Amino acid sequence: MQLHISPSLRHVTVLPGNGVREFIKVKVRARRVSYRMLFYSLLFFTFLLRFVFLLSTADTIDAETKCSTLGCLGKRLGPRILGRRLDSAVPEVMYQVLEQPLDNDELKGRDDIPQTLEEFMDEVKNSIFDAKAFALKLREMVTLLEQRTRNAKIQEYLYRHVASSSIPKQLLCLALRLAHEHSTNAAARRQLPLPELVPALVDNSYFHFVLASDNVLAASVVANSLFQNALRPEKFVLHIITDRKTYSPMQGWFSLHPLSPAIIEVKALHHFDWFAKGKVPVLEAMEKDLRVRSRFRGGSSAIVESNTDKPHIIAAKLQTLGPKYNSVMNHIRIHLPELFPSLNKVVFLDDDIVVQTDLSPLWDIDMNGKVNGAVETCRGQDKFVMSKRLKNYLNFSHPLIAKNFNPNECAWAYGMNIFDLEAWRKTNISITYHHWVEENLKSCLSLWQLGTLPPGLIAFHGHVHVIDPFWHMLGLGYQENTSLADAETAGVIHFNGRAKPWLDIAFPQLRPLWAKYINSSDKFITGCHIRT
């Protein structure tokens, strides 16, 4: 077969090889090459040549031996196109050395291990190391630095645990001075509230708040911030619940510092008839909890000496030893319907919150038959604080938890909660709470480790009405990145976490939001050198 093309490119003739002349003519339309097409073609080839040049140059620099431009291009593009991976340039012996476990005792007493990267580089430059010796030295240095970092973190967590668990001498001084004042000054023993205001304690036309605390200074800040920001303080009633040892100082403080026209009631637990009638489930559970923790944890020294737990696990275990989690003040909220049988609705406040707005609109929120009005903690701009779900509090590796709950379900916050006591009395929330507390004790605290929130999440499951996050901003006691401007815009701010505002470990940029509600000229405040 022969092919003939005319000089004008207009005809193409195909001649078969069998001698029979056949013509197959193809009409080709004449085209002219434009300058624009020529320009784009040159531009395309220019980029293509630069791409080939860069690939070949990089490959030549990285390779141990020289290669041609096309060879380098094929070496680079071939494995990528065919889905293959290039062999690593790191010698296999280095992987073998670095993967071998190194006993911590092998590093004790060694003074030949580089302490910094600069020392390591100087030693490498001044010595002749093969790949194995290089890996050995690198593994020793990294392991030593990891040990020091771990020990430093554990010491930090231990010091913070001691600082957050101890009673500052200023607070102890305040309690002792007020107790003395209560015993010597009749004004400090004045009845709260005044006899003519006692009917308001059970009047549902008032706005009732409940605060459970054994910290006089913290309680005073909550009360001051609540009433100073109220539009109608004469309609506000604050019920303060405390323990037997703190009753005298608490009574003395609010007797000497009346916040009229607001109404304040101070009662100790032993003043409630319900507590004196017999066995109280929460107190029995606390006694069992103390016995289990003393056997299960072994104290802070045993926790810190663990060589297997990671630092954040050790921090969590230390937190379980905090006095807050063994205080009846932290558990008492589950008995609000029994403590206040005449009230229909209350707002419960923790003693580490600060109120920054009028809270009376909380009574206008339609709870839709739910018991607990709370802020969800899985949605919000602060991804560190507002990222909590049930899996953050409950142990879903336990079959009892995994069977009954969804790990990705959103959690909610204690600290500022609206409780519809009338709706609560129609449920079995309190019974469910104590049932799961017992289950956790039976399983040696394997369902959850600490706090009242995990059993609360279980007991109030299906009974929570979500309220606007404006009413409760969390994390000021453990989120260092919270800005003062953001905190000032919230209705209620909560110093949950270890960095309580009355401690020296409080975040200095956030502490003024709490301290401004302390009267720095008060004789008890100045006498105990409480910083404001």
Indicate whether 438 pLDDT > 80. yes
The residues, any chain, with a CB within 8 Å of residue 351's CB and separated by 6 or more, are 211, 212, 213, 215, 218, 219, 222, 329
Give the confidence band of 467 by pLDDT, cuts at 50, 70, 90. very high
Model pLDDT, residue 451: 78
Q: What is the pLDDT averaged over residues 495-522? A: 93
Indicate whether 64 pLDDT > 50. no
Indicate whether 63 pLDDT > 60. no
Give the confidence band of 25 by pLDDT, cuts at 50, 70, 90. very low
Burial, 262: exposed, middle or buried (Cβ in 10 Å; 0-12, 13-18, 19+)? buried
* Stretch among 65-79, 221-235, 488-502 having the lowest mean pLDDT: 65-79
Q: Pick the residue with more confidence: 194 or 383?
A: 194
What confidence tens digit (pLDDT) does each residue in 137-147 have?
787 778 878 77
Give the confidence band of 324 by pLDDT, cuts at 50, 70, 90. low
Q: Could you tell me which of 169, 508, 499 has the C-alpha nearest to residue 319?
A: 499
- Percentage of the chain beyond pLDDT 70 is 73
Distance between CA atoms of residues 310 and 303, nearest Å:
11
Indicate whether 308 pLDDT > 70. no
* Amino acid sitting at position 386: M
Q: What values do phi and psi take at 204, rounded to 5?
A: -80, 0
Distance between CA atoms of residues 329 and 242, nearest Å:
7
Peptide bond into 261 cis (omega under 30): yes
Q: How far is CA 55 from CA 60, 69, 70, 135, 196, in A?
A: 9, 9, 10, 31, 91
Distance between CA atoms of residues 417 and 460, nearest Å:
12
Indicate whether 449 pLDDT > 80. no
Indicate whether 313 pLDDT > 80. no
Peptide bond into 193 cis (omega under 30): yes
- Segments making up each domain of the chain, as ranges: 93-151, 166-528
Q: What values do phi and psi take at 250, rounded to 5?
A: -65, -45
Model pLDDT, residue 21: 45
Please give the CATH topology (third level) of the domain spanning 166-528.
Spore Coat Polysaccharide Biosynthesis Protein SpsA; Chain A (3.90.550)
The DSSP letter of residue 127 is: S
Q: What is the pLDDT averaged over residues 467-493? A: 92
The DSSP letter of residue 389 is: B
Kindly state the helix (H) or strand (E) to which residue 138 belongs, with its residue range: helix 131-165
Indicate whether 240 pLDDT > 90. yes
Distance between CA atoms of residues 391 and 211, nearest Å:
29
Give the confidence band of 226 by pLDDT, cuts at 50, 70, 90. very high
Q: What is the pLDDT averaged over residues 257-279? A: 85
Indicate whether 22 pLDDT > 50. no
- Percentage of the chain beyond pLDDT 90 is 48
263: phi > 0 → left, psi -120 to 50 → alpha, else beta; which?
beta
In 10 A of CB 302, how many CB atoms? 10
What confidence tens digit (pLDDT) does each residue in 376-420 have?
999 877 777 888 999 999 999 999 999 999 999 999 999 999 999
Indicate whether 9 pLDDT > 60. no
Model pLDDT, residue 350: 95
* Stretch among 66-80, 273-287, 312-326, 503-517 having the lowest mean pLDDT: 66-80
Model pLDDT, residue 132: 78
Q: In terms of C-beta distances under 8 Å and separation of at least 24 residues, what long-range contacts does 429-436 make, across chains too? A: 429/334, 429/371, 429/459, 429/460, 429/463, 430/281, 430/334, 430/335, 430/337, 430/338, 430/459, 432/458, 432/459, 433/334, 433/458, 433/459, 434/281, 434/282, 434/285, 434/334
Model pLDDT, residue 221: 98
Tell me the longest C-alpha to C-alpha distance in the chain: 137
* Stretch among 128-132, 314-318, 486-490 having the lowest mean pLDDT: 314-318
Model pLDDT, residue 321: 65
Distance between CA atoms of residues 483 and 47, nearest Å:
50
* Stretch among 325-339, 449-463, 465-479, 505-519 having the lowest mean pLDDT: 325-339
Q: What is the pLDDT averaged over residues 241-265? A: 96
Residue 191, classed as helix, strand or coil, is coil
Structure tokens at 530: 């409480």
* Stretch among 211-225, 238-252, 475-489 having the lowest mean pLDDT: 475-489
Best mean pLDDT range from 27-41, 118-132, 469-483: 469-483
What confidence tens digit (pLDDT) does each residue in 146-182 have?
777 878 887 777 777 777 777 889 999 999 999 999 9
Summary mean pLDDT of the chain:
81
Q: What is the pLDDT averaged over residues 84-97? A: 63
DSSP H helices, 166-298, are 169-184, 216-228, 244-256, 273-276, 281-296
